[in-house]
Each structure stands twice: as C-alpha cells, then as structure tokens.
C-alpha cells in the first residue's frame, strides 16, 4: 500500500515535470521579437518645427526597439496636440529607421520638458503619422506708427532673438547699456500661431546692434488718440523719465484731422517762450522730424512751419491724405521640368504672402492719395529685384512622397509697363518666374503684409 502510493507520487511528479518543461519551452518560443534601429541621422539644416498629431506615444528609443520606454503616453501626447501653448510645440532634429521600415523622429518640446522618438510613417523625409510640420509664427501687419517706442521697463521687458518658444534656439538679447530713454523702431510684426499673441521686432535707434522681438499687447491702435491708453505689452510711447510741461514741450496740431502730438525736449535749459531751434526729444528727433513721424495714420505732412517755434506754444501743420499700395504677386513663367507634384503652379497662379518671404522697402508704396506712383516704380522694382532668387516656403510632394519646392525670381521687365498708370492706393502687379527644385522648403518669416 505504502509502496504503491510512493510509486504513484513519483510518476505524478514526473508527469508534472514534463508539463512544466513543456510550458517553459512554449514561453521561450513565443518571446517577443524586437525591431532593430539603424544609425541616428541628424537633420541639420532640415530640422524643423512640428506639432504632434496625438496618435502616437513618444519613446526613449524607436518604439519597437528593445528597451524603449514611454516618455509621453498617447494620452499625454493628445493633450500636447490640443495645447494652445507655444511651449508645447516640438522641434524635430534627428531620425532613425528600423529594419522594418518604420521611420522615427527625435523631437523635443520648446520648453524641453519632453524629448524622445515618435513614429512618423514609413517614408523618410515625410510625416504621415505622429507629427506634422508647423509654422510657429504668422506674419502680421507692421503698425502705422513705427518710431518713438520705448521699453516699458528695461529690467523686465526682455527682447528675444525670436518670440519665446517659437524657435528652439531663441534666446534673450543683452540689454547692457540700454537706457529707459532709448527710442526703438518697429520694422516687422508677427503673431504666435498657437496663442495668437502679437510681437513686434524692434531696434534701438541709438544702437542698431540691439534688436529683437517683444510682446506688443494689442498693438498700436490708430483710433486711440491718448497714447497713454495704448496696449503695447512691454512697450510704451513715452520715455518714462520725461514728462511734458509748459516749459519743455510744443503741441503739434495737424490741421483738419483733430489729431495732436506733443514734442517734449530734453534740453535742460528749455523754458516757456524760448525758441526750440534744434533741440531734440528723447528719441533724438528735432521738432521738424517729430512733426513728420507723428503725423496721424493715413496722412502726410505737406507744410510744417517749425522755425520760430517756442516752448509752451502750438505748431500748426498742414497735411494731405496719403495712400499705401499693395503688390499682387503672380507666376508669369513656370518650370516644373518633368516632375509632377500635387498642387503644382501654373502660369498666372497667384503667389500669397505665405508662399515666400521677401523684403521690400514699403515706404516706397506710400504717397499722396490718387497721385501717380510712376516716379517710384523703378525704385520699387529695384527693391524687389534685390531679393534675388527666393526659396519658397511650401513643400510639394510627388505620388511617391518625394519632396520639392519652388524657387522664385522677380521678373523686372514688365513691372514698369504693367503699373505705369497706377496711383498710390492701387494694387500693383509683380510677376515671378517659378522653378521646381528637389528638396523640402524652409520658412524664414518676414513681414509680407504689403503683399495683396
């Protein structure tokens, strides 16, 4: 009885042992098979700003490679995709492709909180999943007033090389040596794409080496006549240590407009009744220069009598209505080669402000309303011609996913003829030759508000 029981235990143990061995063998055979990743490739000049789509998590390594850990879950990534904060925009700067053909991009948020690899599809150089290309800023209209701005607080209102969190390389500009009486000039404006907040690019009128972007609140409003009520963010329209008094100021009256401006001298010997002569304000302007730069929006000074102006008195200025033209860009020649891309341009295709970034001396487009612009046409043509060949900002793709972009060259010959009868305020026509070139486009934001 005991012998038989012992024997049965032994046989049972043997059977269990075989069963256990079988289980181990099965587990080993079905162990997860991992992908392997190729060499890391830095994107270099192809680095770009992107946003996540919210469909794919971010990993410490390409997600299917052994040892990959979740940096940001799909739930977190979905929140980042919906975020209205520029700090949650990403910068793509490297890539790896697995042996299964999956392409992963190395990305990092602008605030550097999240960094890792995200799946972007099966074709290198394109994004079909995980991320998409993004423009972090949008060109905005330069304000009607461009001169006579001051930093509201030099110790707090920092300038940036690019609006904060719109460029991974953005950094603060040193304001060493800048005084609260230093006037600044605005040369372009932009809004943050995510927040819609307005920024002005400004340059110190006393030191052109100091320039950068600053938050501009709601921006300069031509309908507000009391400059102390302008909402300009980190800027102000008056130097904080100069107050207007009867002894140091002259009131400028623009006839027929209801608009006034106050010139405040920095001359320590200024006194009511004394001649202003060549005294300057905090912006370094003489009274004559101030009169012209402070004219109400939509007007030009045609008669200003500042000789004999005295402190504590008024100066009356004659003005005339002015108008500013815009320029409509179009394609008058196109070379697509033998390449077929989606959305290819044709002759007479319009070129929008977002299609390319070009510089223009916009002062040439403003003159006396209804007067012919013909005297300035050659200068305008030369200003456009100085851009040379301009790389477009849009990327076009073939059916196979190969990237191309257009390069644009201004055609100056027909410009004067097409616009010879145009007046200030009319829209001018400017033709460009467009050539399709292999490679992705890059964007260099410029104020293109003058483009119709």
List the chain domain ranges: 41-133, 137-236, 249-322, 325-438
Average pLDDT estimate for 112-123:
95
Coil/strand/helix, residue 219: coil
> Is the pTM here over 0.85, yes or no?
no
Residue 11, SS3 per DSSP: helix
> Looking at per-residue confidence, does 393 or 214 come out higher?
214
Q: Compute the average pLDDT of residues 160-178.
A: 92
Predicted local confidence at residue 152, as pLDDT? 86
* Environment class of 251 (CB within 10 Å of its CB; exposed 0-12, middle 13-18, buried 19+): middle
* Mean confidence (pLDDT) of the chain: 86
Amino acid 3: pLDDT: 35
Residue 222 has a pLDDT of 84
The phi, psi pair for 241, rounded to 5°, reads: -110, 15
Tokens representing residue 434 in the block = 């467009």
pLDDT, tens digit, 9 for 90 and up, residues 329-381: 999 999 999 999 999 999 999 998 888 888 888 889 988 888 999 989 999 99
Q: Mean per-residue pLDDT for 89-107?
A: 95
Q: Is the pLDDT of residue 299 over 90?
A: no
Residue 229: the pLDDT is 84
Question: What's the pLDDT at 45?
Answer: 62
Mean pLDDT within 394-419 = 91
Q: How does pLDDT run across 49-73, given as a tens digit for each residue?
A: 999 999 999 999 999 999 999 999 9
* Token code pair at residue 69: 């850990």
pLDDT at 7: 33
For residue 81, the cross-strand partners are none
Q: Write out the E strands in 309-402.
A: 314-324, 326-335, 350-351, 366-368, 389-391, 396-397
Q: What is the pLDDT of residue 446?
A: 67
Query: How far, in Å, CA of 354 to CA of 356, rounded?
Result: 6
Which pLDDT does position 300 carry in this prediction? 84
Residue pLDDT, tens place only, 240-275: 546 789 999 999 999 988 888 899 888 889 999 999
Asked if the model's pLDDT at residue 10 lies above 60, the reply is: no
Pick from 36-45, 64-73, 100-109, 430-439: least confident:
36-45
What are the CB-based long-range contacts (under 8 Å, 24+) for 101-109? Answer: 102/35, 102/62, 102/64, 104/37, 104/59, 104/62, 104/63, 105/50, 105/130, 105/131, 106/40, 107/50, 107/52, 107/58, 107/131, 108/168, 109/80
What pLDDT is stored for residue 444 in this prediction? 62
Q: Which of 104, 134, 98 is nearest to 43 (CA)?
A: 104
Per-residue pLDDT, 370: 87
User: Which H or E element spans position 48?
Assistant: strand 48-52
Q: 410 pLDDT exceeds 60?
A: yes
- pLDDT for 125 equals 81
The highest-level CATH class for domain 137-236 is mainly beta
Q: Assign 382 to helix, strand or coil.
A: helix
The residue whose two tokens read 């790389």 is 391
How high is the pLDDT of residue 360?
A: 87
More confidently predicted of 246 and 9 = 246
Distance CA 104, CA 106 (A): 7
């Amino acid at each position: 009885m005991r012998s038989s029981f012992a024997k049965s235990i032994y046989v049972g143990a043997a059977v269990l042992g075989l069963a256990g061995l079988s289980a181990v063998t099965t587990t080993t055979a079905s162990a997860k098979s991992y992908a392997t990743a190729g060499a890391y490739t830095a994107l270099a000049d192809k680095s770009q700003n992107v946003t996540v789509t919210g469909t794919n998590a971010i990993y410490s390594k390409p997600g299917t490679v052994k040892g990959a850990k979740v940096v940001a879950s799909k739930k977190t990534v979905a929140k980042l995709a919906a975020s209205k904060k520029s700090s949650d925009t990403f910068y793509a700067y490297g890539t790896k492709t697995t042996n299964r053909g999956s392409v992963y991009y190395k990305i990092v948020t602008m605030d550097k909180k999240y960094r890792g690899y995200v799946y972007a599809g099966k074709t290198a150089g394109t994004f079909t999943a995980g991320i998409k290309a993004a423009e972090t800023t949008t060109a905005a209209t330069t304000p009607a007033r461009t001169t006579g701005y001051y930093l509201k607080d030099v110790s707090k209102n920092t300038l940036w090389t690019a609006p904060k969190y719109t460029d991974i390389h953005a950094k603060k500009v040193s304001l060493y040596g800048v005084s609260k009486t230093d006037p600044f000039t605005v040369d372009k404006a932009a809004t943050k794409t995510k927040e819609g907040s307005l920024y002005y690019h400004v340059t110190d009128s006393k030191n052109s080496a100091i320039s950068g972007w600053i938050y501009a609140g709601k921006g300069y409003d031509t309908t507000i006549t009391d400059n102390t009520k302008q909402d300009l963010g980190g800027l102000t329209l008056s130097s904080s240590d100069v107050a207007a008094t009867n002894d140091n100021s002259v009131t400028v009256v623009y006839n027929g407009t209801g608009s006034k401006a106050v010139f405040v001298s920095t001359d320590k010997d200024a006194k009511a009744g004394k001649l202003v002569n060549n005294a300057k304000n905090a912006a370094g302007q003489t009274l004559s220069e101030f009169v012209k730069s402070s004219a109400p929006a939509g007007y030009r000074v045609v008669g200003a009598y500042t000789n004999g102006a005295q402190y504590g008195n008024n100066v009356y200025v004659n003005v005339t209505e002015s108008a500013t033209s815009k320029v409509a860009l179009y394609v008058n020649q196109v070379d697509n080669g033998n390449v077929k891309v989606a959305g290819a341009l044709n002759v007479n295709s319009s070129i929008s402000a977002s299609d390319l970034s070009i510089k223009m001396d916009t002062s040439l487009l403003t003159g006396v309303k209804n007067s012919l612009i013909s005297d300035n046409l050659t200068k305008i043509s030369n200003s456009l011609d100085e851009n040379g060949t301009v790389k477009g900002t849009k990327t076009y793709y073939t059916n196979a996913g190969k990237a191309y972009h257009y390069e644009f060259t201004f055609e100056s010959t027909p410009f004067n003829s097409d616009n010879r009868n145009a007046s200030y305020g009319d829209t001018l026509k400017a033709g460009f030759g467009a050539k399709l070139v292999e490679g992705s486009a890059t964007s260099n934001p410029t104020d293109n508000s003058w483009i119709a």
